[in-house]
Amino acid sequence: MTTTTDFVLNVSGVSKRFGGLQALSGVALKIGRGQVYGLIGPNGAGKTTFFNVLTGLYTPDAGSFELGGQAYKPQAVHQVAKAGIARTFQNIRLFAEMSALENVMVGRHVRSQSGIFGAIFRTSGFKAEEAAIAKRAQELLDYVGIGHMAEFKARTLSYGDQRRLEIARALATDPQLIALDEPAAGMNATEKVVLRELIDRIRNDGRTILLIEHDVKLVMGLCDRVTVLDYGKQIAEGTPAEVQRNEKVIEAYLGAHAAH
Ligand SMILES: Nc1ncnc2c1ncn2[C@@H]1O[C@H](COP(=O)(O)OP(=O)(O)OP(=O)(O)O)[C@@H](O)[C@H]1O
């Protein structure tokens, strides 16, 4: 029997309106533990809006949300991080002047115990925790393949490496769900192959991933299931093979291409 806890994320009826524009209309999706789940659709379909609602940047007009079998309200970004969702952004958001290691350490602080008192008075508990956080951050940089760049300022890394750094920072929060917003954007073919291997590895290590991606080949090769949005509505859901031969999906994409 399938119980709700088999789903890391279980949302339904998610709606969001901007003035006269219905950006999301009753979107529902269930992401099984250990899956890579793709969210695709033409430009303006509502993918980023869905991410922003899910991660507390926008307040939904309606919707029910469950994470790891527990109800949660995505009302504020820090609550969402605590609840266990980490994300990356379409336009990379790193601390440009901080080192790669420090950027990952910031992510890890979501889970730290000593708090502000420990940080100010530099208690022994705080120092031990800082050392543990630095060690874990280095492991994560190694994991995503940029361990040798730990001391480099984030802004000096290549585009592809900055994206990998963002993934390391997301992993640092030990999330139940990692939401990746167009991780392959701006990458060349070689970088995409490396990215694909990394996402595969993250899944094989038992993590669950929600992915917005324009590169259809990457989505189809990587995802276990896919939801297709068009004008805020879900027009298809299923395995990559199923959605690829769905008439509505073909029409939405052809229509979008014809419009350009
Ligand atoms: N803050 C906002 N205020 C008003 N309209 C918005 C806002 N954010 C998004 N929209 C509109 O909502 C619709 C969905 O946009 P969204 O960015 O979610 O699409 P998307 O599928 O992520 O597109 P893309 O692939 O181009 O990133 C668009 O028509 C967009 O103009």
Q: What is the pLDDT of residues 73-104, one digit of tens each?
A: 887 877 888 889 998 887 778 889 999 999 99
Q: Is 177 strand, coil or helix?
A: strand
Q: What pLDDT shows up at residue 132?
A: 86
What single-letter amino acid sits at 168? A
Same domain (yes/no): 66, 167: no
Same domain (yes/no): 160, 38: no
Report the separation in Å between the CA atom of 54 and the middle of ligand 1, taken as the mean of its atom positions.
14
Percent of the chain with pLDDT over 90: 63
Is residue 89 in some structural domain? Answer: no
Count of positions (residues) in the chain = 260
Domain count of the fold of the chain: 2
* Ligand 1 atom index nearest CA of 232: 14
Please say if the pLDDT value at position 143 is more than 70. Answer: yes
Q: What pLDDT shows up at residue 119?
A: 59
Is residue 149 in some structural domain? Answer: yes
68: tokens are 């790891």
Domain boundary among 154, 173, 192: 173
Q: Report the CATH number at residue 15.
A: 3.40.50.300
Tell me the Cα Rg of the chain: 19
Q: What pLDDT shows up at residue 93?
A: 84
100: tokens are 């790669």
Report the separation in Å between the CA atom of 23 and the middle of ligand 1, taken as the mean of its atom positions.
7
Domain boundary among 144, 173, 202: 173
Same domain (yes/no): 34, 49: yes
Pocket of ligand 1 (CB under 6 A): 18, 21, 23, 41, 43-49
- Average of per-residue pLDDT values in the chain: 88
- Average pLDDT in the 192-208 region? 94
* Ligand 1 atom index nearest CA of 19: 4
Domain boundary among 112, 147, 173: 173
- The answer to whether the predicted template modeling score (pTM) of the entire model surpasses 0.90 is no
* Ligand 1 atom index nearest CA of 41: 21
Confidence of residue 118 (pLDDT cuts 50, 70, 90): low
Confidence of residue 252 (pLDDT cuts 50, 70, 90): confident
Same domain (yes/no): 74, 192: yes
ipTM of the complex: 0.95
160: tokens are 């592809």
Report the separation in Å between the CA atom of 46 and the middle of ligand 1, taken as the mean of its atom positions.
6
Q: What pLDDT shows up at residue 115?
A: 58
Please say if the pLDDT value at position 260 is more than 50. Answer: no
- For tokens 């899956």, the residue is 35
pLDDT digits (tens, 9 = 90+) for 31-80: 999 999 999 999 899 999 999 999 999 999 999 999 999 998 887 877 88
Same domain (yes/no): 105, 71: no
Indicate the range of 56-65, 102-111, 161-170 predicted with least confidence.
Answer: 102-111
Confidence of residue 259 (pLDDT cuts 50, 70, 90): very low
Range of the domain at 53: 1-84+175-260
CB 224 within 8 A of CB 239: yes
Same domain (yes/no): 184, 257: yes
Same domain (yes/no): 185, 164: no
Report the separation in Å between the CA atom of 20 and the middle of ligand 1, taken as the mean of its atom positions.
13
List residues bridging with 65 in a β-sheet. 11
Residue whose C-alpha is closest to residue 37's, from 45, 29, 47: 29
